[in-house]
């Protein structure tokens, strides 16, 4: 009855160009619209209007509607007509919404009258009726004019407008899926109350949309669930409802951000002290890291994963576990006529239990040895199946000589283990691809992205990228093979096509379980690929094409997330059931790092004053308080690094570090216990220099008592955290940079040395940048000194503060271009830039010519001009010396001396310290004249003038060309 719309409905395309839709997938935002009951004149029926095709109710109404619909959709078979007839009769007899529209249609006397459906059910007795069919008088009324609420559905007799339907409207589900909710039953609405599971009494809490639809998708004994019988339609329903769930959460985050904001404590305190409007303090709309799948969440997840690497080194095993749709647990629950692709709810629930069993089997049964920590991330194949990427760290690292006994990349011998042979040949064979099957999904540009087939090798070899090259013996050396039929062709498959597996895990779980022994952090980057390559997100740009609309907020992270996301039906049902996307053990505790009084303060309009007066507590502030305790716990805390605190103390709800009461007893501190939890100090960008060096101290200094105490080294108090790091030897000295710049001064120009120095500043962060400048400022400024001596023809000119300042400005321009940071950020004194003294590199380039050399060129070449060249030369120079200006066009065949004459004119003007601009139409022509540039480069001409007739030159007055153009 309503339209189904999304930013993009994704069709899965295989490598051979064929389309497969075993899963329903959309990109971006989803929306539904409803129109009028009748179409405009000469327009076709659509959406709700198709239920009124064929005329009003009469004896021939059913036949008329069936004829009209079948003709409209070109349905000619008797079987199709019978289905349409039965569906029409079913909906007209039982669908209460359709009855409502038809019973009220005659009351719509004009286009100003409308049927209004209320968004929420009215109470009947003591409780809200949640699943009853709608009653006409209860749900609707006739409205005249346009005075409806935002969530009401307004349907008119005939107009050309489509109305968006709120996803919180109770008729949302029935209008979109009339075949599932064929009685017009109510769906989710915001005022459904939770009930006490024991007494059945209503509580004061509302049912969330996730709980509502999770309930609707469950299988219950003795009750038929029609949603699960609808195959592809149920997949669309799952995606639609998950988008509703996600939209509800995102709306909560958006609306509460108008009340809840975050600001650093010092700016908040200062703003309140100056009686500032609290509504103007804080940041714009963000999508917090607590929202699973958001960019901030994935960034935190990759950092937590690297905490495991920092603490325990490389992972031992990387396991990819894929759901097997032929598991008996799945096939036994399918309804007659269904396949696993029709029941994503079953595959999700079974795979969740299998994944839990696999993790338990590895970590508790110690099949590969005692486990130290583990983590996994769940993803979905393009076609349909969920799979998990699992990382495992063991107490005893896997040695190279043990790999062959744990992992195999060979086909088992069927004579010794027929069961394993069947499992491997069914689940662990890649492809085939390449010349054997060019339409395989792994083929890109004619090559296999997984690098199959592999080479035969008799012994395992450790590979440099972190994964070993497993043993794959040929049939001549004892390897096995079997025949696989692909497209009616028999193909001999050998060990080159085997995906590495664990025989033990494969036999137990009968699925595709790829097991790799790894020795690098590449696997962590893969498991968190949402951060590294943006999986299931789209690259987009928001543009506002309506000039009258309010400006778009480019910093609205929630809108950006909604537009760029992809949602498939198999992921939707996983999320509806509330299954975890990521899990890990042990926990990683996040530790704040901030300068003194620089912590985040979360506040509302009502609490802003209190937050400004009372300093917020953070893990860092309380770490100092813990170290200052006078008891045994405080003395023990002084032996710990900041990141080690979560092992022995827990961050309580009271915002304090409390001693742990469970775990391994600590002998050095009775009453204290050690856990396996890890602490991660938040990363700090090196651009935040002092905070960056504070973090460096926190990860190296044990038991600091305060922000001041951590800057004390050997009894001496240092003014900055950077100085304290230098005193502790945490920063390298600048000897290598000093030597490098000294060597560069021997064979590089000043311009090249300035560029080198700017790169060192922005990427290497020298400890004492000002000292480097003081030692090498002469070599960085020598080109400027040379230009001054040449311009004024005076070799006695020496370095001056103005020259050094010009050099600093050039270096700062390079730093801004590279890192968008001024030189003061790197600990150097700022350059002196006044409004009228902005460095003009174009002007300097035109003034750097050697006037003596230019005069020599003139004196040598003027006497050899021919008569015509001499006339042109004298005429142009007369116009220049008299300041007359003018246009001169030289037209002569090639080789007659045009370039020679123009070069002489340029040298004449430059010999008198004047500015002569040489501009050519092409790059090749520009190479013929000294200092020549193309017109597009010099005057910033647009390149797409054919497509944009209104394009203009982007030349500025502050550059030499703009100044010259302005004065001509």
Interior/surface letters 147-175, b for 16+ CB within 10 angstroms, e for the rest: eeeebbbebbbebeebbebbbbbbbbbbb
C-alpha–C-alpha distance, residues 920 and 509, integer Å: 73
Starting at the earlier edge strand, list the strands of the sheet with 513-517. 513-517, 317-322, 386-394, 371-380, 582-585
- What parts of the chain have a pLDDT lower than 50? 13-21, 122-151, 265-272, 274-283, 528, 530-535, 538-549, 835-839, 958-968
pLDDT of residue 915: 83
CB-CB contact of 619 with 279 (8 Å)? no
Q: Which two tokens stand for residue 290?
A: 């607590």
pLDDT confidence of residue 682: 87
Say what the pLDDT of residue 692 is.
86
Q: Please tell me the predicted confidence (pLDDT) of residue 505.
A: 97
Report the pLDDT value the prediction gives residue 232, as an integer from 0 to 100. 84
Q: What pLDDT shows up at residue 492? A: 92
In this prediction, residue 939 carries a pLDDT of 73
Query: For residues 618 and 601, is the Cβ–Cβ distance under 8 A?
Result: no
Q: Where are the beta strands (DSSP E) in 885-924?
A: 919-920
pLDDT attached to residue 946: 56
- pLDDT tens readout for residues 117-129: 566 554 434 343 3
Tokens describing residue 776: 């090498």
Which pLDDT score, from 0 to 100, does residue 708 have? 95
Q: What does the pLDDT read at residue 844? A: 62
pLDDT of residue 705: 95
Pairing label, strands 919-920, 933-934: parallel
Tens of pLDDT along 19-78?
A: 444 565 555 555 556 656 566 666 666 666 656 555 555 556 667 777 777 776 677 788
* pLDDT for residue 917: 83
Task: Assign 566 to helix, strand or coil.
Answer: strand
Sign of the torsion formed by the C-alpha atoms of 147, 152, 156 and 160: positive
| pTM of the entire predicted model | 0.72
């Amino acid at each position: 009855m309503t339209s189904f719309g999304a930013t993009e409905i994704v069709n899965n395309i295989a490598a051979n160009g064929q389309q497969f839709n075993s899963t329903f997938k959309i990109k971006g935002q989803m929306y539904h619209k409803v129109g009028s009951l009748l179409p405009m004149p000469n327009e076709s029926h659509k959406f709700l209007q198709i239920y009124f095709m064929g005329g009003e109710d009469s004896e021939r109404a059913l036949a008329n509607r069936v004829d009209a619909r079948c003709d409209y959709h070109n349905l000619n078979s008797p079987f199709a007509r019978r289905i349409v007839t039965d569906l029409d009769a079913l909906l007209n007899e039982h669908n209460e919404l359709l009855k409502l529209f038809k019973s009220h249609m005659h009351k719509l006397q004009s286009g100003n009258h409308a049927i209004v459906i209320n968004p929420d059910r009215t109470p009947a007795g003591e409780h809200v009726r949640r699943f009853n069919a709608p009653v006409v008088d209860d749900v609707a009324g006739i409205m005249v004019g346009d005075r409806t609420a935002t969530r009401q559905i307004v349907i008119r007799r005939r107009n050309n407008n489509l109305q968006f339907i709120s996803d919180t409207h109770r008729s949302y589900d029935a209008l979109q899926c009339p075949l599932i909710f064929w009685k017009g039953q109510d769906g989710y609405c915001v005022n459904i109350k939770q009930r006490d599971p024991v007494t059945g009494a209503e509580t004061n809490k509302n049912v969330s949309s996730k709980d509502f639809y999770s309930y609707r998708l469950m299988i219950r004994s003795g009750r038929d669930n029609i949603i699960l019988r609808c195959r592809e339609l149920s997949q669309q329903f799952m995606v639609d409802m998950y988008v509703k769930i996600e939209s509800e959460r995102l709306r909560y985050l958006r609306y509460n951000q108008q009340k809840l904001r975050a600001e650093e404590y010092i700016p908040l305190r200062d703003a309140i002290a100056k009686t500032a409007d609290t509504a103007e303090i804080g940041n714009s709309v963000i999508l917090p890291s607590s929202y699973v799948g958001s960019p901030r969440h994935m960034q935190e997840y990759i950092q937590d994963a690297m905490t495991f690497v920092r603490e325990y080194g490389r992972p031992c095993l990387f396991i990819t576990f894929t759901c097997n749709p032929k598991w008996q647990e799945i096939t036994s629950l399918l309804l007659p006529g269904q396949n696993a692709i029709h029941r994503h709810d079953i595959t999700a629930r079974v795979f969740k239990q299998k994944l839990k069993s696999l993790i338990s089997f590895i970590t508790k049964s110690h099949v590969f040895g005692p486990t130290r920590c583990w983590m996994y991330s769940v993803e979905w194949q393009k076609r349909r199946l969920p799979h998990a990427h699992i990382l495992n760290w063991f107490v005893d690292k896997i040695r190279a000589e043990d790999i062959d006994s744990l992992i195999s990349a060979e086909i088992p011998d069927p004579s010794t283990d027929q069961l394993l042979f069947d499992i491997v040949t069914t689940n662990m064979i890649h492809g085939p691809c390449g010349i054997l099957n060019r339409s395989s999904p792994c083929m890109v540009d004619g090559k296999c992205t997984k690098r199959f087939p592999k080479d035969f090798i008799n012994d395992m070899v450790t590979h440099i990228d972190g994964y070993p090259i497993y043993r794959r013996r040929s049939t001549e050396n004892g390897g096995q093979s079997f025949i696989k039929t692909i497209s009616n062709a028999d193909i001999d498959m050998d060990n080159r096509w085997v995906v590495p597996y664990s025989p033990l895990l494969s036999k137990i779980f009968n699925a595709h379980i790829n097991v790799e022994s790894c020795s690098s952090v590449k696997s962590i980057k893969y498991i968190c690929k949402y951060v590294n390559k943006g999986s299931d997100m789209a690259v987009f740009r928001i543009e506002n094409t309506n000039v009258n609309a309010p400006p778009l907020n480019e910093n609205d992270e929630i809108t950006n997330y909604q537009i760029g996301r992809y949602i498939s039906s198999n992921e939707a049902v996983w999320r509806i059931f509330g299954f975890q996307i990521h899990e890990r053990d042990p926990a990683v505790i996040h530790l704040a790092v901030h300068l003194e009084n620089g912590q985040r303060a979360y506040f509302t309009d009502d609490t802003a004053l209190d937050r400004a007066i009372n300093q917020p507590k953070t893990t860092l502030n309380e770490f100092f308080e813990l170290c200052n305790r006078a008891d045994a716990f405080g003395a023990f805390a002084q032996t710990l690094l900041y990141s080690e605190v979560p092992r022995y103390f827990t961050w309580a709800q009271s915002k304090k570090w409390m001693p742990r009461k469970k775990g391994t007893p600590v002998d050095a501190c009775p009453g204290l216990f050690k856990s396996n939890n890890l602490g991660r100090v938040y990363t700090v960008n090196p651009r935040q220099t002092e905070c960056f060096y504070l973090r460096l101290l926190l990860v190296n200094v044990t038991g600091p008592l305060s922000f001041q105490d951590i800057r004390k080294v050997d009894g001496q108090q240092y003014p900055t955290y950077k100085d304290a790091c230098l005193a502790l030897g945490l920063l390298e000295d600048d000897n290598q940079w000093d030597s490098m710049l000294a060597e560069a001064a021997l064979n590089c120009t000043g311009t090249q040395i300035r560029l080198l120095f700017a790169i060192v500043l922005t990427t290497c962060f020298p400890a004492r940048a000002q000292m480097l400048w003081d030692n090498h400022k002469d070599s960085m400024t020598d080109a400027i000194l040379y230009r001054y001596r040449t311009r004024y023809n005076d070799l006695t000119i020496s370095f001056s503060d103005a020259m050094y300042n010009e050099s600093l400005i050039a270096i700062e321009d390079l730093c801004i271009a590279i890192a968008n940071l001024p030189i003061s950020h790197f600990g150097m004194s700022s350059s002196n830039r006044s409004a009228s003294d902005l460095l003009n590199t174009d002007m300097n380039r035109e003034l750097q010519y050697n006037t003596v050399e230019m005069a020599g060129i003139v004196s040598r070449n003027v006497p050899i001009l021919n008569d015509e060249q001499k006339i042109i030369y004298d005429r142009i120079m007369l116009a220049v010396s008299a300041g007359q200006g003018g246009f001169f066009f030289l037209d002569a065949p090639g080789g007659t001396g045009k370039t020679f004459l123009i070069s002489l004119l340029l040298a004449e003007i430059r010999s008198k310290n004047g500015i002569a601009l040489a501009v050519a139409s092409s790059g090749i022509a520009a190479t013929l004249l000294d200092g020549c540039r193309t017109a597009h480069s010099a005057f910033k001409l647009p390149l797409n003038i054919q497509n944009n007739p209104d394009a203009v030159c982007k030349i500025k007055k502050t550059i030499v060309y703009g100044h010259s153009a302005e004065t001509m």
